[in-house]
Amino acid sequence: TPLGPARSLPQGFLLKCLEQVRKIQADGAELQERLCAAHKLCHPEELVLLGHSLGIPQAPLSSCSSQSLQLTSCLDQLHSGLFLYEGLLQALAGISPELAPTLDTLQLDITDFATNIWLQMEDLGVAPAVQPTQGTMPTFTSAFQRRAGGVLVASKLQSFLELAYRVLRYLAEP
């Protein structure tokens, strides 16, 4: 079964990952709540057109779907996705003084999670030879674009985390 190597994932690692996903989801939800409360930017679906023009990418998790789970590739996509969101959140720096602490916590937690995944891949001997490098990031040229970008990035991140949570919980099942 595609899960053969999954049994090589320590239960402790999976439980920590699940906890980290929940923590990042909580951080992301707080960012969304603050953006909504402070700037009335509450619905990402109102910003789809802007999202296209800004070129905010979506991180793929195609190898993590339960129908076709390939563990090594799934871990790699998880790490790459988290790495992408690290970059997107850095691009949002200066979003606003009130949101900065929330953004910092979100970045720290995502970086922690990405490190956890990478170290586990190294332990399994499946880590890529070199760490990924950040691609070109969208450029936010106004305070509004940074806030709207914050809404879109947070929304995409939540979708990404939902998928990640599902596969991690699946892998953690005894």
Which residues contact another protein (rule: CB under 8 A)?
12, 15-16, 18-20, 22-23, 25-26, 104-105, 108-109, 111-113, 115-116, 119
Please report how close the Cβ of residue 17 comes to another protein at its closest, in angstroms: 9
For another protein, the closer of residues 86 and 109 by Cβ is: 109
Please report how close the Cβ of residue 15 comes to another protein at its closest, in angstroms: 5
Please report how close the Cβ of residue 158 comes to another protein at its closest, in angstroms: 14
Please report how close the Cβ of residue 161 comes to another protein at its closest, in angstroms: 11
Please report how close the Cβ of residue 109 comes to another protein at its closest, in angstroms: 8
For another protein, the closer of residues 37 and 108 by Cβ is: 108
DSSP state of 97: T
Beta carbons of 158 and 21 less than 8 angstroms apart: no
For another protein, the closer of residues 108 and 143 by Cβ is: 108
Which phi and psi angles does 91 have, rounded to 5°? -65, -20
φ/ψ bin of 58: left (φ > 0), alpha (ψ from -120 to 50), beta (otherwise)? beta
For another protein, the closer of residues 56 and 78 by Cβ is: 78
For another protein, the closer of residues 49 and 130 by Cβ is: 130
Q: Over the range 29-54, which residues count as b (16 or more CB within 10 Å of their CB) and which as e?
A: ebbbebbeeebebeebeebeebbeeb
